[in-house]
Structure 1
């Protein structure tokens, strides 16, 4: 007898993931479609929205092919903030510009700050204007592709694009909107019309809802393409990291989520609005919640790069070699700024640095240095979060990088923070399925996804990592002038 279930789908940077989940939280089936963003120039990352919908339909059909479940609701999430502009008929006008890994809008940021005022943007929008923000990316299209922009009427992100294709609704969640700096007012929880007209002229910004609210129901056309039942509800959805936090119950005041993925993302839940020019202050996924957020531009992206460089390597083998390398990676120190860096340095022209190389260093040393670089970056962000008034009481880890024990152990050793691991760590698509289940029932994450284990720091490594962290903090200022010159050469 088929059981009732929900589907959760997340559109990520390197793959789309989907899960079929019973209403009790049981993971029935999962599926993945890998993809690679286009890189049309230095500092530019784009993706065709047709990929998002095609992969959703493929995942939906694969997840339901066995006929052992009746899907009663759908949850969606996706990377962001991204900028997909369409005309009034929802025809995409160009590939979507991705989130902070795309750094093309530096000049637009400078001009917008000059017109609106950097302090006023921080006060009203909660975050300083950086290449993470959606607003300057819209302005970039208006200035660099004016003929195309003249036809632009609507703004989408991956999650809201799936909602539109599934239900016909044009909506966006409050959290995603709060990353559209400077278009959203975090005090009034709505679009700020004067700045919207300045930064995104002619765009009919979407109505706003909370992530767990129903955006609409599956249309007959979408049902034919996806195999889903007509009329089932679809969540409004949100950005992937916030769905990840929901998937492991990290939405209470004092919680900090660490998302181990292609990038490393940190979401700290705070009781009131806190701002820092080195972080992002956002509206939460749930009503009444606020966050201080941080994000490293790379983490798993660097380990994937190393795996690809070592043609005969794979992550399992490289992890084994990294464990043998030991704390300190044989005297190597890495800056993980291979795609610029987001928080807390906010430097799109930062570049990766590997210091201390000798002819005796091995693949395991390099891989270990990459894992440790992530840990140092997390520690740096945690210190800035707490300096801004954050009060971190619990750390919860999630994402593909938690599957092996070494990476999470290294991060706990470097930060001195225990990390809670839940039973299911698949991430955003599971969080999306939780919100979908809450549309049709009383799903609770502690029942769905109980704590499996806690990674505790090893005291014997504290001194070594404290010494290396001090060197890590010196390495960026010591090399920034040089790498900025190199970054300029790369742009030619």
Structure 2
């Protein structure tokens, strides 16, 4: 592996007037915010950590009032306190984890915690029922993606069946970004990209809700107006000003799911561009010139009108490294240093990273984590390196699925808090692919600020190349890649070889946890 500066010079345009852009993103385990000038200059950034609730196996939830809105307010207040004098605020952009399901009453007050995206696997029975009702192939054809734990439709059906009192109190439902927009402006909207992940409720070609399915799956609910992520949808209300410090009347754009905001923020806009988002989960977004579908991936609307995407997502990546950090009581820095001293393959270990099931390309909520090859001489550094390598094998597996679906991935852009030297080096060595690192890899909040700039008329979609140029390229080491080619074959073999046992253990886990729940 070598890391080299990007050779093509890119010059930022002259700074223009118009005011600052505030971008805030709500992630799985942290929230981030930035203040950015209209030329892309980063003025200030801030971060908050939070936890994800998992009251039962397969359940993952957030307290929307405390985590989503509370951390938004805290970040906004901190960033605005650091705003340079005489620089007004021009617009606000938001993003968040998704697709999620937050049921609320008609005033937008949550009636229960938000049910998170594909890591939450509670709606297995409802997925099967909706596949039977609408036809698995027709769902993919019309909606662009198969029905999986990622989809909102089965989550709505689960709520109606298992928590009838909560459903009876529900009038609206939100995702993280749309809930923040509501709290800021009073509007009830959802962007087209987020809607395209509400399988089987959104028609990808028609760019519209499927009305008959809405009433069948979730009768009696009000549905959000569909807009595009950079569309200005309202202005900050006096009530929101009092909580956030954002001046009343400041324009707010619709925002979107965090991975797509992050893709916007690093210039993954041309066909052939693909983003690797290193975070609690690993996410891949490929930009397309036409819609593509695959039974193993998610076809979606893009962040801008007229664009499409093919996406993939692993259920865990940083979540496993965090688990190892907590389990060993060791810092990330120490674990990384120990792992970096080891050769490719972690001296004979191969890990399956399915600690929360797996999303693409397996779509198996009952897949389970596995460390194969353990001996008494292996230590925490070996496990940590094996976890990084497991994520890299998962990336390679998903890139192969994208290629089979017809999506070219000519340029890979690495972003996210986990995009550090060792991890990106391992991913390049495992995949045999170079990765481009932009100047800013701070996350979706930067993309939120750019979407706000576009909505406020201070930038055009193509201006992101000047906002966030590539500054480094990570290239694979052929010798390491040869080792990983052999180990990747073992990685692919391990899942089918252990799937039956994993499913038995997953069922056992549900039985045992059910007994604990009832006790």
TM-score, reference length from structure 2 = 0.93
- 1:42-86: CA deviation from partner (whole Å, max 9, x where unpaired): 100111110211111110000011341421110000000000111
- The equivalent of 1:45 in structure 2 is 60
- The equivalent of 2:443 in structure 1 is 427
> Using the alignment, how far apart are the partners of 2:262 and 2:30 within structure 1?
15
Q: Match of 2:141, SS?
A: helix
> Using the alignment, how far apart are the partners of 2:388 and 2:83 within structure 1?
41
Q: How far 1:3 sits from its partner (Å)?
A: 8.9
- The equivalent of 1:182 in structure 2 is 200
- 1:299-334: CA deviation from partner (whole Å, max 9, x where unpaired): 0000111111111x1111111111111100010000
- The equivalent of 2:102 in structure 1 is 84
- The equivalent of 2:282 in structure 1 is 264
- 1:220-276: CA deviation from partner (whole Å, max 9, x where unpaired): 111111111111111100000000101100121111100000000000111211111
Correspondence for 1:451 among 467, 470, 473: 470
Q: Does 1:235 align with 2:253?
A: yes
Segments of 4+ moved more than 3 angstroms: none
Mapping for residues 212-361 of structure 1, pairs under 5 Å: 212-311=230-329, 313-361=330-378
> Using the alignment, how far apart are the partners of 1:398 and 1:323 within structure 2?
20
Q: How far 1:116 sits from its partner (Å)?
A: 1.2
> Using the alignment, how far apart are the partners of 2:83 and 2:21 within structure 1?
13
Q: Match of 1:120, SS?
A: helix
> Using the alignment, how far apart are the partners of 1:3 and 1:110 within structure 2?
51
- The equivalent of 2:484 in structure 1 is 465
> Using the alignment, how far apart are the partners of 1:446 and 1:285 within structure 2?
16
Q: How far 1:38 sits from its partner (Å)?
A: 1.1
Q: Does 1:476 align with 2:495?
A: yes
Q: How far 1:24 sits from its partner (Å)?
A: 1.5
Q: Does 1:107 align with 2:140?
A: no
Aligned residues: 489
> Using the alignment, how far apart are the partners of 1:302 and 1:3 within structure 2?
43
Q: Match of 1:464, SS?
A: helix
Q: How far 1:461 sits from its partner (Å)?
A: 1.3
> Using the alignment, how far apart are the partners of 1:222 and 1:326 within structure 2?
53
> Using the alignment, how far apart are the partners of 1:434 and 1:271 within structure 2?
22
> Using the alignment, how far apart are the partners of 2:107 and 2:396 within structure 1?
46
> Using the alignment, how far apart are the partners of 1:270 and 1:436 within structure 2?
23
> Using the alignment, how far apart are the partners of 1:198 and 1:155 within structure 2?
16
- 1:376-410: CA deviation from partner (whole Å, max 9, x where unpaired): 000000000000111111110100111x2110010
> Using the alignment, how far apart are the partners of 1:115 and 1:438 within structure 2?
41
> Using the alignment, how far apart are the partners of 1:160 and 1:447 within structure 2?
28
- The equivalent of 2:7 in structure 1 is none
Q: How far 1:442 sits from its partner (Å)?
A: 2.2
> Using the alignment, how far apart are the partners of 1:200 and 1:190 within structure 2?
16
Q: Does 1:196 align with 2:214?
A: yes
- The equivalent of 1:6 in structure 2 is 21
- The equivalent of 2:404 in structure 1 is 387
> Using the alignment, how far apart are the partners of 1:294 and 1:241 within structure 2?
11
- The equivalent of 2:42 in structure 1 is 27
> Using the alignment, how far apart are the partners of 1:330 and 1:84 within structure 2?
45
Q: Does 1:72 align with 2:90?
A: yes
Q: Does 1:485 align with 2:501?
A: no
Mapping for residues 202-213 of structure 1, pairs under 5 Å: 202-213=220-231
> Using the alignment, how far apart are the partners of 2:398 and 2:459 within structure 1?
35
Q: Does 1:169 align with 2:187?
A: yes
> Using the alignment, how far apart are the partners of 1:336 and 1:367 within structure 2?
12
Does the aligned pair in 1 maintain the 2:253–2:452 contact within 8 Å?
Answer: yes
Does the aligned pair in 1 maintain the 2:157–2:218 contact within 8 Å?
Answer: yes
Q: How far 1:151 sits from its partner (Å)?
A: 2.3
Does the aligned pair in 1 maintain the 2:181–2:252 contact within 8 Å?
Answer: yes
Q: Does 1:413 align with 2:429?
A: yes
Q: How far 1:356 sits from its partner (Å)?
A: 0.3
- The equivalent of 1:117 in structure 2 is 135
| Structure 2 residues not aligned, in runs of 5+ | 1-16, 512-519
